[in-house]
């Protein structure tokens, strides 16, 4: 029994040890797992941080593009407005000299002794000359035309700034009701300098109800699709933008007459980091971000393409049903 007791004791000890060992092992394993989990979490965080950084960089790139676009658009009106204002100032100066001459004539006339005919005749001739010069002078009319152009140019600049504010939506960055057609117009304006002298733009914007979403993000989507379309057309081409209501959705369709997308490339175009551009020229994120933004709005994006004929990207967004049920 003693032996048995001992044996039992030993067994118990062994069991305890084993248990302890297992507990230790389990604890170690758990720790390892936890470590792995935390490592994984850290890794995930890192990836997410990189991703959001990349998205941020892409946003900055589109901001840069936007600034360059608007700067180019403003150059022309600023050019002639600035020149005109300076010229009008010169014209007014020259006109003032003419008026002063006329006034001097008056002064001489008022001071003269008009009872003598020999004074009147030369004075009359001199006054007539000055008067005719003033009457026939075109400077005021010319200046007027230049100012008309200038007001025109300033209105154009004001519109650009308004459009820019609309595009960036600095005043309201959040879910809101907005007009998709306005977004199309802003995006076309921002992309204007990439299109102007080589690409013909055709717009067919239908009457569509407002949709709910983050307008600045949708603007980014449209700018990206328009820029891609422009880049797909090497030389000259036509860019068509149409919007319409289709059942419970509103659609924007962007069509180019460019190179088209090859079959082996088509399945990958929305993949992050996929690009056909040379290294350093594209991030490969444009369309993946477009896709993400459209999805987060409950929308969808479709592509039709034919080699050497061009591509059509169709973005659809759901209408807000609660709003639709309200009587107009």
Instruction: Give residues 147-186 in contact with another protein (rule: CB under 8 A).
Output: 149, 152-153
Q: Is there binding between residue 144 and another protein (CB under 8 A)?
A: no
Candidates 38, 48, 53, 75: give the one binding another protein (CB under 8 A). 75
How far is residue 299's CA from residue 294's CA, in Å, rounded to a whole number?
5
Q: Could you give the dihedral angle defined by the CA atoms of residues 82, 84, 88 and 90, in that order, rounded to the nearest 10 degrees?
A: 70
Q: Is there binding between residue 146 and another protein (CB under 8 A)?
A: yes
Q: Which is nearer to another protein, 82 or 304 (CB)?
A: 82
Instruction: Give residues 254-293 in contact with another protein (rule: CB under 8 A).
Output: none
Q: Is there binding between residue 202 and another protein (CB under 8 A)?
A: no
Q: Which is nearer to another protein, 66 or 289 (CB)?
A: 66
How far is residue 326's CA from residue 209's CA, in Å, rounded to a whole number?
12
Q: Which is nearer to another protein, 84 or 216 (CB)?
A: 84
Q: Is there binding between residue 201 and another protein (CB under 8 A)?
A: no
Only segment of 2-10, 140-148, 166-174, 213-221 that touches another protein (CB under 8 A): 140-148
Q: Is there binding between residue 98 and another protein (CB under 8 A)?
A: no
Q: Is there binding between residue 78 and another protein (CB under 8 A)?
A: yes
Candidates 62, 84, 186, 194: give the one binding another protein (CB under 8 A). 84
How far is residue 130's CA from residue 225's CA, in Å, rounded to a whole number?
64
Provide the β-strand partners of residue 240: 202, 255
Is-contact 69 186, C-beta < 8 A? no
Instruction: Give residues 26-45 in contact with another protein (rule: CB under 8 A).
Output: none
Q: Which candidate, 244, 235, 233, 231, places its Cα nearest to that of 281?
A: 231
Number of residues that bind another protein (CB under 8 A): 22
Strands 199-205, 237-246: pairing is: parallel
Candidates 10, 50, 51, 83: give the one binding another protein (CB under 8 A). 83
Q: Is there binding between residue 87 and another protein (CB under 8 A)?
A: yes
Q: Which is nearer to another protein, 5 or 197 (CB)?
A: 197
Q: Is there binding between residue 196 and another protein (CB under 8 A)?
A: yes
Q: Is there binding between residue 145 and another protein (CB under 8 A)?
A: yes
Q: Which is nearer to another protein, 27 or 203 (CB)?
A: 203
Distance of closest approach, residue 83 Cβ to another protein, in angstroms: 4
Q: Is there binding between residue 86 and another protein (CB under 8 A)?
A: yes
Task: Provide the binding-site residues for another protein, judged by CB under 8 A.
Answer: 72, 75-80, 82-84, 86-87, 91, 142, 145-146, 149, 152-153, 196-198
């Amino acid at each position: 029994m003693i032996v048995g007791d001992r044996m039992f004791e030993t067994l118990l000890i062994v069991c305890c040890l084993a248990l302890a060992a297992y507990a230790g092992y389990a604890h170690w394993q758990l720790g390892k797992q936890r470590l792995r989990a935390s490592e994984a979490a850290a890794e995930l965080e890192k990836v997410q941080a990189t991703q959001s950084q990349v998205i941020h960089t892409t946003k900055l790139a589109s901001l840069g593009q936007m600034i360059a676009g608007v700067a180019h658009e403003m150059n022309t009106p600023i050019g002639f407005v600035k020149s005109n204002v300076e010229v009008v100032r010169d014209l007014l100066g020259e006109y003032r000299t003419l008026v002063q001459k006329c006034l001097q004539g008056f002064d001489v006339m008022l001071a003269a002794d008009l009872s003598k005919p020999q004074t009147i005749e030369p004075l009359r001739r001199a006054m007539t000359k000055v008067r005719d010069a003033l009457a026939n002078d075109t400077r005021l009319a010319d200046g007027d035309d230049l100012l008309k152009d200038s007001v025109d140019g300033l209105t154009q600049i004001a519109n650009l700034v308004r459009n820019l504010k609309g595009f960036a939506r600095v005043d309201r960055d959040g879910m809101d009701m907005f007009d998709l057609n306005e977004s199309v117009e802003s995006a076309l304006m921002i992309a204007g300098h990439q299109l102007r002298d080589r690409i013909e733009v055709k717009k067919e914007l239908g009457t569509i109800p407002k949709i709910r979403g983050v307008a600045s993000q949708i603007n980014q989507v449209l700018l990206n699709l328009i820029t891609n379309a422009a880049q797909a057309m090497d030389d000259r081409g036509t860019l068509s933008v149409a919007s319409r209501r289709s059942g419970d959705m509103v659609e924007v369709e962007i069509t180019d007459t460019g190179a088209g997308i090859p079959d082996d490339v088509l399945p990958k175009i929305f993949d992050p980091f996929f690009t056909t551009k040379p290294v350093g020229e594209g991030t490969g994120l444009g369309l993946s971000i477009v896709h993400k933004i459209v999805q987060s709005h409950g929308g969808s994006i479709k592509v039709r393409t034919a080699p050497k004929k061009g591509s059509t990207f169709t973005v659809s967004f759901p209408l807000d049903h609660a709003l639709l049920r309200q009587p107009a």
